[in-house]
Amino acid sequence: MAIPQQIPLWDQPVGDSVAGEANAAGALSLEEREIMARRRYQKPEPKKHGKHWTIIVTEDYLDGGRPKRRQRRIRLAPLDTKWRTVLRLRDEKIKPLNQGMLAWGSATDFTTFVQQTYIPSEMPLLAKTTQQRYQGVLDKYLLPRFGNFLLRDLTPAVLQPYFSVGMAAAHPTLGWESKDKVRDVLASVLKRAVRKYALLERNPMEGIELPPDKIGKRTKMPYLTPEQFDELVTAMPEPYATMVYVAIYTGLRISELVALRWQDVGPDSVAVEQRFCRGDWSQPKSRASNATIAVDRHVIERIHRLKSLTVDVKAGRGPVRHYRVVKPDGPHPELVFQSVKDGKPMRDNNVLTRHLKPAARKLGFGFANWRCLRTSRATWMVQAGANPKDVQGLMRHSDIQTTFNVYAQQVSESQRRAIDVTSRMAAGRIANAREAIRAAANGPVN
């Protein structure tokens, strides 16, 4: 007599203390999830059923949005199989049940978990700009593709084909870095489902790979030469020229530069203690980023020079207005760089699009941006012969491989030598360029 692979013996709603009211998507409260996640340890005795050894197990599932339990029969082996082998097969079959891999939580669909758990509970823990990026990836790529999948159905066998060919077919113009970001976001979401909410036993994104980038990685990132940097700073108005000056001589990220406070500026050093990006204050990017670095005296002098500067701004047909660059009575007097009009924190994208980019394009340096300034700093140090360990320390990279891979352990005693040799190299090239310009302007000597 043939035995069906699955025979439901009973099917009834879980008690009122657990089930509660669930919507059509199968959503439950966090308390209900935790109760349902407490699995009963099962070790059923194999029984003879027809011509096979079988076991009956209990599992949770969702039916029309309501959590239920049912029993099903699992066929193990023919009756002539050795008892020890039957027990081993029994243990293999029930192990996922006892570990929670087939618990009700894994029957939650991806959309429910993202919209009712991840976005309200986990997303606020991220930086604001990261939240915006993650939300965009979820809305455009992940929810449309995997929204109706149950968490337990998001297996490597389902995910790898999407990242191998599916995403490229659906979004043919998507670059490799963007595909990598999609992969990172999905891995982050499912990691929370595993580690914090115990809805899955393991993250199915582990080991998921992307096809090689057809273009390949750029061997060199664009950077400004000292001569180009001098032209750029000369072409920009204050206080934006000083922002570029400080950025390239310190290697600070723009979010760290905007958040720089007067108390962070020492006689020959700068402390990085926080960052500000488009309305979001947060701690530095990593532990290595939260550091005090040596800085040239001429950079410190230029920073303090801001206190004595006044800029003229003419809007439309109105009169020319005079603004102090540093406003001690403004809303943020502690900041080194304040918006010209109202003294609020600078908006890095506004400075980039209104001042840095236009000046750079006029000079033929269309590639210049905030990242380019940081790259230029590291490149100058390498060109000047600075020790790579010093470059890592001054750039505040957590891993020296980042320094090597992007540009070419901190040794505090030799940081000053790295600063000095880099400054001498840059100053010499700038002086030679200026002398050449003056000589050309004066014409040949008779």
Packing angle between helix 226-235 and helix 240-250, nearest 10 degrees?
160
CB 302, CB 246: distance < 8 Å: yes
Tell the residue number behind the tokens 């593709």, with chain if given: 145
- Which residues are CB-contacts of 395 (< 8 A; sequence separation ≥ 6)? 251, 374, 377, 378, 403, 407
**Percent of the chain at pLDDT above 90?**
41
DSSP helix/strand/coil, 118: helix
CB 285, CB 397: distance < 8 Å: no
Mean of the per-residue pLDDT values of the chain: 81
Given a cut of 70, whether residue 23 has pLDDT beyond it is no
pLDDT digits (tens, 9 = 90+) for 105-160: 666 789 988 998 899 989 988 877 788 889 999 999 999 999 988 888 899 999 99
pLDDT digits (tens, 9 = 90+) for 360-411: 999 998 889 998 998 888 888 888 888 888 888 888 887 776 666 655 433 3
d(Cα 55, Cα 280) in Å, to the nearest integer?
Answer: 57
Given a cut of 70, whether residue 273 has pLDDT beyond it is yes
Interval 33-52 mean pLDDT: 74
- Report pTM: 0.58
d(Cα 66, Cα 45) in Å, to the nearest integer?
Answer: 30
Q: Which of 220, 420, 239, 189 is nearest to 340 (CA)?
A: 239
Identify the pLDDT of residue 102: 46
Higher pLDDT, residue 277 or 370: 370
- Indicate the CATH number for domain 226-440: 1.10.443.10
Prior bond to 78 cis, omega within 30? no
- In degrees, rounded to 5, the angle at the alpha carbon of residue 207 between the alpha carbons of residues 202 and 212 is 155
Identify the pLDDT of residue 105: 61
DSSP-assigned letters across all residues of 398-441: SSHHHHHHHT----HHHHHHHHHHHHHHHHHHHHHHHHHHHHHH
Parse the chain into domains and list their residue ranges. Answer: 11-107, 110-195, 226-440
- Which residues are CB-contacts of 88 (< 8 A; sequence separation ≥ 6)? none
Parallel, antiparallel, or unpaired for β 269-271 and 275-277? unpaired
